[in-house]
Amino acid sequence: MVRIKATSSGICLRSPMHEVSIMESAVQMAVDAAKSAGASRVLALRLRVGTLSGTVPEALRFAFDVVCRDTIAEGASLEMESVPAAGWCPVCRVEFACADFISECPRCHNPNGELRRGRELEIASVEIN
């Protein structure tokens, strides 16, 4: 078994696409990676999914099963790591949890917080055999 690590920043899949389109891209990337490594199966796909990524995990899982059919990824497992949204205040230099896209600092109420995490929709790794 070989695990292909995505780059440190991950492979960004984020775009205004439907879950099925997202999964088609993700599975295609995994299949291509497996084939170029000389593997015959994709065993697992791990994704990082931000809470603000705009996708529904259940829909991603359903789409995954559908798009894996009749490919070398059929039967592969899908693991999704949820990434909670976090903002950063450049004034207080603290990170804080944010529930949505409003990244107001809870300490100084600076409204210009920077959204640091939560929009991820990335391939973390692919396991092939």
Chain residues in the site for Zn ion (CB under 5 A): 89, 91-92, 105, 107-108, 110
Q: Given the complex with Zn ion, which of 60 and 89 has the nearer CB atom?
A: 89
Supply 82's token pair: 């949820």
Q: Given the complex with Zn ion, which of 56 and 91 has the nearer CB atom?
A: 91
Q: In whole angstroms, what is the distance from residue 73 CA to residue 115 CA?
A: 34
Q: In whole angstroms, what is the distance from residue 19 CA to residue 21 CA?
A: 5
Q: Given the complex with Zn ion, which of 25 and 110 has the nearer CB atom?
A: 110
Minimum distance from CB of 86 to Zn ion (Å)? Answer: 13
Minimum distance from CB of 100 to Zn ion (Å)? Answer: 18
Q: Given the complex with Zn ion, which of 24 and 95 has the nearer CB atom?
A: 95
Minimum distance from CB of 117 to Zn ion (Å)? Answer: 17
Minimum distance from CB of 88 to Zn ion (Å)? Answer: 9
Q: Is 13 helix (H, G, I), strand (E, B) or coil?
A: coil
Contact 121, 11 (CB under 8 A): no
DSSP annotation of 3 reads E
Residue nearest to Zn ion (CB): 105
Which CA distances in Å does 86 have to 72, 99, 100, 119? Answer: 36, 8, 9, 10
